[in-house]
Amino acid sequence: MNKQEFETYLNEHCSALSKFQARALDYQANKNQNRTKSARWNDAKVQRAADAMYDTFLDGIYTKLRNAIKNKYDHQAWLDYIEKYELLEQLEESVLEIEFE
């Protein structure tokens, strides 16, 4: 499973990524509000910062799974691993517990 397929699968089967994305955007917007007026970013830059957080989060998950799954190219091996270790449930819980600093 490549990264795009993995992202699509997660988005179709759980809300962890969309929740993370929303929380990252809220975090970046709040962080931006705390900047001095002259140092504040425009909305596009805030969105890019949130998108970068999302990409880093997704890359981390994907890389850990890719390293753990023996047959990296077998779609069913990915699905079996995700189900066996209840990854979707763990992701949902983890996203709720994440605190940005």
Per-residue pLDDT tens, the chain, 101 aa: give them. 999 999 999 999 999 999 999 999 999 999 999 999 999 999 999 999 999 999 999 999 999 999 999 998 899 999 999 999 999 999 999 999 999 98
Number of domains into which the chain is organized: 1
pTM of the model: 0.93
Containing structural domain, residue 47: 3-97
Confirm if 74 and 80 have CB atoms less than 8 A apart: no
What is the CA angle 49-51-52, rounded to 5? 65
> How far is the C-alpha of 67 from the C-alpha of 49, rounded, in Å?
27
